[in-house]
Amino acid sequence: MKALVTGAAGFIGSHLAERLLQDGYEVCGVDKFLENYPRQWKEQNLSGLLRHPRFRFIESDLVQLSLPELIDGVVYVFHLAAQPGVRASWGKEFDRYTHNNLLATQKLLEACKGRRIQKFVFASSSSVYGDTTDLPMREDGVTCPVSPYGMTKLAGEHLCYLYWKAFEVPVVSLRFFTVYGPRQRPDMGFHIFMRALLRDEELPLYDDGEQTRDFTFYSDIVGGTLAAAQYPGFGEIFNLGGGCRTTLNEMLQTLETISGRKLRIKKLPRQAGDVRHTEAELGRARDRLGFNPHVGLAEGLRQEWEWLGSCLK
Amino acid sequence: MAISQDLLDILACPKCKGDVHMNPNGDGLVCESCRLLYPIKDDIPIMLIDEAIKL
């Protein structure tokens, strides 16, 4: 069976592609190597995949790529490619977000019209919920993103739903909650903190540290994503969270313990677009997908710490 | 790992969506209509219009 993974050189995409290959799929990966972080990290993500005989890779922009031939024979489309990052989505950078998050998604959905794919899985984000105080966040609850990035992800979900209703493209949207683990992007929190620790630098901490996140280990995200592909329903949305909502201050204490190093914190003001809390209601994902996050925060942080330590030697 | 034929079969020129063929020395994919060469680096076809080389 064939699968298409967009964003295959990225953090989650590369792990997903590996899991699909382990499960016996032929995988075609596409990535345009966005300049949001250095290319070498993404090349490293891909290095094992490129040696696999059932993996093919194309460097391209989904908006430019001729998609019909790419989708021919594909059973599952996993659309993880996106311009990520909440804080960078303001101002003149917004063009990149509309191109890579909206236009690319629309082009891919268009190409899937009338094709015999079994599922189009769209990677959305907890950012769609914004600063809601109605916790835990439910899929049928209020969505009110407070960043342009979050808005493009919510718009992407709506695009998927439209193509399901109008053209029966078999979509499912997944709201990923702060994913972490080996290969986490260098612009994401744990990677930044750990890199600062390894280099004996100050850790930048925005806001007061009492903000919370429902951190989710990458392997739980990959498991949930595969379950969503195989789920018999269409047009639905699921939260994929780690089940371990934690304050950043608590997380930093755990990091001190794991690293055996004392943190030096540089306090910075809260950034525009940052939400105060996230917490995923997982009842729907548990009931319908059999989703069950396995990896706790301490273990997940330990794995990421060991990975980053080996990368930066 | 060289570019496989089944990968070549699904690639088209991003600009005109027409057929591309391998350059005789294997360093890129050529669109005759657009007179563009899309480079292949480390066995990865780079199907980006901005990266294409004018022939």
For chain A, what is the radius of gyration of the CA atoms? 19
CA distance A262 to chain B (A): 42
Q: Residue A94 pLDDT > 80, yes or no?
A: yes
* Residue A288, token pair as written in the block: 């319908």
Write down the pLDDT at residue A303.
Answer: 97
Kind plus residue range of the DSSP H or E element containing A147:
none
* Lowest pLDDT segment from A288-297, B1-10, B12-21: B1-10
Q: Which residues of chain A neighbour B11 with C-beta distances below 8 Å?
A: 58, 66, 69
Q: What is the mean pLDDT of residues A94-113?
A: 97
Q: Which residues of chain A neighbour B20 with C-beta distances below 8 Å?
A: none
Q: Are the beta carbons of A246 and A297 closer than 8 angstroms?
A: yes
Render pLDDT for A123-136 as a digit per residue (tens, 0 to 9): 999 999 999 889 99
Kind plus residue range of the DSSP H or E element containing A267:
strand A265-268
**Greatest extent of chain B over all pairs of C-alpha atoms, in Å:** 28
**CB proximity list for A53: less than 8 A, separation 6 or greater:** B1
Render pLDDT for A243-277 as a digit per residue (tens, 0 to 9): 989 999 999 999 999 999 998 999 999 888 888 99
Mean pLDDT of chain A: 95
Closest to B47 (Cβ–Cβ): which among A28, A51, A58?
Answer: A58
Write down the pLDDT at residue A79.
Answer: 98
User: What length is written for chain B?
Assistant: 55
Distances (CA, A) of A180 to A89, A112, A217, A218: 21, 30, 5, 6
Q: Residue A295 pLDDT > 90, yes or no?
A: yes
Q: DSSP for chain B?
A: -PPPHHHHHH-B-TTT--B-EE-TTSSEEEETTTTEEEEEETTEEEE-GGG-EE-
Tell me whether B42 touches chain A (CB under 8 Å).
yes
CA distance B50 to chain A (A): 10
Q: Are the beta carbons of A55 and A3 closer than 8 angstroms?
A: no
Q: Is A218 a catalytic residue?
A: no
| Number of cross-chain residue pairs from A and B with Cβ atoms under 8 Å apart | 48
Q: What is the mean pLDDT of residues A39-60?
A: 96
CA distance A59 to chain B (A): 5
Q: Which residues of chain B neighbour A69 with C-beta distances below 8 Å?
A: 9-12
Q: What is the mean pLDDT of residues A181-187?
A: 95
Q: What is the mean pLDDT of residues A50-79?
A: 95
Give the residue, A244 or A151, on which the prediction is more confident: A151
Q: Are the beta carbons of B10 and A21 closer than 8 angstroms?
A: no
Give the residue, B1 or A223, on which the prediction is more confident: A223
Write down the pLDDT at residue B4.
Answer: 83
Write down the pLDDT at residue B2.
Answer: 65
* Lowest pLDDT segment from A158-172, A187-201, A211-225: A187-201
| Domains of chain B, earliest start first | 5-54 (2.20.25.10)
Interface test with B, best of A26, A64, A107 (most B CBs within 10 A): A64
* Cα torsion through A110, A164, A218, B42, rounded to 10: -20
For chain B, what is the radius of gyration of the CA atoms? 10
Render pLDDT for A198-253 as a digit per residue (tens, 0 to 9): 999 999 899 999 999 999 999 999 999 999 999 999 999 999 999 989 999 999 99
A7: left (phi over 0), alpha (psi -120 to 50) or beta: left
Q: Are the beta carbons of A57 and A33 closer than 8 angstroms?
A: no
| pLDDT band at residue A180 under the 50/70/90 scheme | very high
> Distance between CA atoms of B53 and B38, rounded to whole angstroms?
6
Q: Residue A121 pLDDT > 90, yes or no?
A: yes
Write down the pLDDT at residue A42.
Answer: 96
Residue A83 identity: Q
Render pLDDT for A9-47 as a digit per residue (tens, 0 to 9): 999 999 999 999 999 999 999 999 998 889 999 999 999
Interface test with B, best of A6, A28, A30, A56 (most B CBs within 10 A): A56
Q: Which residues pair with residue A181 across a beta bridge?
A: none
Mean pLDDT of chain B: 92
Residue B30: Cβ within 10 Å count: 20
Identify the CA nearest to A182 among candidates A294, A304, A7, A45: A304
Write down the pLDDT at residue B1.
Answer: 47
Domain A2-177+218-242+279-293: homologous superfamily in CATH: NAD(P)-binding Rossmann-like Domain (3.40.50.720)
Q: DSSP for A177-233?
A: -SEESTT--TTSHHHHHHHHHHTT-PEEEETTS--EEE-EEHHHHHHHHHHHHH-S-
**Greatest extent of chain A over all pairs of C-alpha atoms, in Å:** 57
Q: Are the beta carbons of A124 and A175 closer than 8 angstroms?
A: yes
Q: Could you state, in order of their start, the residue ranges of all structural domains in chain A? A: 2-177+218-242+279-293
